[in-house]
Structure 1
Amino acid sequence: MRNISILAGSSHPQLAQDICQRLGIPQGRATLSKFSNKETNVEVGESVREQDVYIIQSGCGNVNDNFVEMLIMIAACKTASAKKVTAVIPCFPYARQPETPYKRNSVPSSRVAKRDDDKFGTMYDGQLQSPIKPSSLPSPPPNSDSSTANSTDTPPQPEIFEKSMSSLSFPDEDDTPLPAPKLRHLRTESTLSLDGGGRVSSISRSHSNVAVHPLAPQPPADRPLQTGTCTPGPGSGNGGYKHWTARSGTLIANMLMAAGADHIITMDLHDPQFQGFFDIPVDNLYGQPLMIKYIKEKIPDFQNAVIVSPDAGGAKRATVIADKLNVDFALIHKERRVAAGSELILVGDVKDRVCILVDDIADTSFTITRAATLLTKSGATKIYALITHGILSGNALERIKNSTIDEVVVSNSVPQQDHLAHCDKIKVFDIAGVFAEAIRRIHNGESVSFLFEQTPY
């Protein structure tokens, strides 16, 4: 392969070596270091002018430092006149933060009206505001001792205004028309203040004879207004919706494009709509063919197994695998209750069956271990868990050890050496061949759709 250079970041050097070995080309030279103040330093040790550069960096370990390191590597290659720079990100960072405005469990506050002297208020941010009363309007300042002169402006025509307003209606939830406002003559008094020399020093105006009525319908006689209180949503501070939750989807995409990336290659994005944040091509490879291959080769009597999705979000992924293997499918639905938390509900029959949990990512392993407990209570004889990105942070390994899962199979999209050493339930399948074939096809201008259905080796 000509005019190609593959550089590796510091997040997963072993995967980069495996990809280069599959392609039969040497890995490019790049020196990655940090200054004493922890700033990242990147030096590309070879010429990349007019070459297609592929930078391999996974979103694991120290995610923020590794991401900034990748941005600097991309910018360095573009500055060195690289023809094209492709970011190969097996495990995409921040992929679980799409652009959603509110937290998942936020609900609007209860809009219950409150009776206050037969007047209607307005709901603002979960609080009932009383209407402005005429008595609460500020009164005009008293006349000063200086000489004053009163003048009366021409009042509006109340008959014409009242006739036009009576034809309007403002329906509410009960479609009750508003009564026409009753206005009297509007009188404006202007007060002139004179100084010692008889000249006008200031002019002040005050309004009188103004009838103010709240623009709200009166309750029907046969349906008295119910009293109550305004109940804020659960977990909200001041009622109403929860505070806007910051999401980083667009920001991450813009940073990669601003650094100079021309193409993105990744695998099993947690939210597929993440691809829409980019203005450059994004190839989202699938881990399903590798999972199917592992099931056929490593799980005995898989024909009688049940593919299980641990949540509703992964149902499509699990059904695709179940259809290709021609086996049954089950779903675990998490029903979130405001007061009692969440409850897992199994949809499907797993009694005396082998269950294969399928998911795209396992971080704390809380989801798959809870699902395994439910499957065991439902009569499952053996439980496997196939995960594309086994991040396994925090006390995830302890949860897996203490769970009823017999085997957790993850890919090497993130380094798994430490996980294998501390938990004997962890197994690994290799994705280097898929990324190597994707790089080869993209560099030669071939289609990568073959990799969506088949494994290259």
Structure 2
Amino acid sequence: MFPIHILLGDMNHTKGGLVIFTANSHPSSRELGKRIAERLGVELGKVQVYQEANRETRVQIQESVRGKDVFVIQTVSKDVNTTIMEMLIMVYACRTSCARSITGVLPYFPYSKQCKMRKRGSIVSKLIASMMCKAGLTHLITMDLHQKEIQGFFNIPVDNLRASPFLLQYIQEEIPDYRNAVIVAKSPSSAKRAQSFAERLRLGIAVIHGEAQDAESDQVDGRHSPPTVKTTGAIHPSMEIPLLIPKEKPPITVVGDVGGRIAIIVDDIIDDVDSFVAAAETLKERGAYKIFVMATHGILSSDAPRFIEESAIDEVVVTNTIPHELQKLQCPKIKTVDISMILSEAIRRIHNGESMSYLFRNIGVDD
């Protein structure tokens, strides 16, 4: 990973012709855009984004973007579908206003969990990617995609930045006895992320196995539906297709020692917190005396703040890729790490035509 403090060096040195818009009509969602513009030493572009009485989205750009590099910052609000439409309409407005380039800055890519085929379903994240490209997007900056393969849904350059340097720094600076910690994966599917954190902090790792799995981990390719009616003579009796043995979840076990240790659960998204609460209870039973949850994207929908407040979790640390000020008021356990620095640096480098490789130093294929 890269040392975070170095990024501040030439932050304010950008060429002319840079315009930054925030595409969100919700005031709390514009906070990240203001932080980025402040770090770059520019003013946010003048634009009006609002909803008509009939709920249609209206975008009015109030300054010239002809021949300029436009960066559209969009954070996902509670109404995710409105968020997408605001982004698409603003990108298209910039395209028809003859902007030289249009870069979307979506720290959290919406519908990223719907990136695999389920039976009779669809790969919605590919649809969103196609819509953004069709609207006129020429580049995308995002962070910690739920699946890195989503980058392949776009026919434009995609920079998938990482929040882990900021979360690692938080662990080192805000958890005084972190050397007595163990990094925990709440399911085998998140073991690679946990291993990445553990190796960089020189800590041990534990994996919880046997908890209820996410729906997306079940049969996801849509090719397992048997024919409803057997056609006579269609399949020879000696050529009967063998059926896959159904999965049986084993009893909950913790692979690794957490007794008398600080447990730090890491993941990419915290939305429905039931699985995190269950994992915290399991770790408490196994002897962990303090439990942290760390993730990049804190969606924290529905009653998540209340469940966290009532749980064995001591602290939830997320970044500001998604606004969650209301959730923080409801639950003091929720802490925020600011990632506007790396987004600002990415914008500066793209605008100035500089290499982005510095932002991906020490990041392996599995990170």
TM-score range, shorter chain: 0.7 to 0.9
CA contact (8 A) 1:263 1:280 kept: yes
The code of the aligned residue for 2:82 comes to: D
**8 Å Cα contact 1:95-1:270 kept in structure 2:** yes
4+ aligned runs moved over 6 Å, structure 1: 337-342
- Deviation per residue, 1:398-455 (Å, 9 max, x gap): 210111010111111111211111111111110111100111111112222322358x
Aligned to 1:428: 336
Higher relative contact order (CA 8 A, sep 6+): 2
Secondary structure of 1:405's aligned partner: coil
The Cα shift of 1:68 comes to 0.5
CA distance in 2, matches of 1:396, 1:342: 27
1:42 matched residue in structure 2: 59
SS of 1:283 mapped into structure 2? strand
Q: Does 1:320 align with 2:196?
A: yes
Q: Are residues 336 and 365 of structure 1, via their aligned partners in 2, closer, same or farther at CA, if it must alter by over 3 Å?
A: closer
Q: Where does the alignment leave 5 or more consecutive residues of structure 2 unmatched?
A: 1-13, 214-245, 363-367
Cα pair 2:110 2:125 within 8 Å, conserved = no
User: In the alignment, which residue of structure 2 is the partner of 1:133?
Assistant: none
Q: Does 1:100 align with 2:8?
A: no
1:266 matches 2:142: yes
Q: Measure, in 1, the Cα distance between the counterparts of 2:145 and 2:274.
A: 20
Q: Secondary structure in 2 aligned to 1:265? A: strand
Q: Which residue of 2 aligns with 1:279?
A: 155
Residue of structure 2 equivalent to 1:252: 128
Rounded to whole Å, the distance in 2 between the matches of 1:38 and 1:250 is 25
Tell whether 2:246 aligns with 1:370.
Answer: no
In structure 2, distance between residues paired with 1:448 and 1:319: 25
Matched residues in 1 for 2:253 and 2:139: separation?
41
**Secondary structure of the equivalent of 1:367?**
helix
Rounded to whole Å, the distance in 1 between the matches of 2:23 and 2:189 is 31
1:28 aligns with 2:45: yes
The structure-2 alpha-carbon separation of the partners of 1:254 and 1:339, relative to structure 1 and needing over 3 Å to count, comes to closer
Q: Which has the larger radius of gyration?
A: 1
- The answer to whether the 8 A contact 1:60-1:93 is kept is no
CA deviations 1:78-130 (Å, max 9, x no partner) are 0000000001001110000113243xxxxxxxxxxxxxxxxxxxxxxxxxxxx
* Residues 38-84 of structure 1 deviation map (CA, whole Å, 9 limit, x = unaligned): 10110001000011100000223210011011000000000000000
Structure 1: gaps spanning 5 or more residues: 103-243
Cα gap change, 1:413 to 1:341, in 2 (>3 Å): same
Cα distance between partner residues in 1 of 2:251 and 2:56: 45
In structure 1, C-alpha distance between the alignment counterparts of 2:324 and 2:212, rounded to whole Å: 33
Aligned residue among 27, 32, 57 for 2:74 = 57
Aligned match of 2:236:
none
Aligned residue in 2 for 1:91: 108
Taking the aligned partners of 1:342 and 1:74, their CA distance within structure 2 comes to 48
1:302 aligns with 2:178: yes
Q: Give the structure 1 partner of residue 289 of structure 2.
A: 381
CA spacing shift, 1:425–1:339, aligned 2, 3 Å: same
Are 1:417 and 2:325 matched, yes or no?
yes
Q: Secondary structure at the match of 2:252?
A: strand
Superposed CA RMSD: 1.8
Corresponding letter in the other structure for 2:130: N
Aligned counterpart, 1:448:
356
Bigger share in helix: 2
Structure 1 Cα separation of the partners of residues 327 and 360 of structure 2 = 28
Question: What count of residue pairs does the alignment treat as equivalent?
Answer: 314
Percent identity of the aligned residues?
Answer: 44
TM-score, normalisation: structure 1:
0.66
The aligned residue for residue 6 of structure 1 is 20
> What is the alpha-carbon distance in structure 2 between the residues aligned to residue 383 and residue 98 of structure 1?
30
Partners of 1:336 and 1:343 within 8 A in 2:
no
Shift of the 397–453 alpha-carbon distance from structure 1 to 2, 3 Å rule, reads farther
* Distance in 2 of aligned mates of 1:379 and 1:452: 37
The two structures have a TM-score, normalised by structure 2, of 0.82
- Rounded Cα–Cα distance in structure 2 between residues aligned with 1:323 and 1:339: 31
Q: Partner residue of 1:292?
A: 168
AA in 1 matched with 2:302 = G
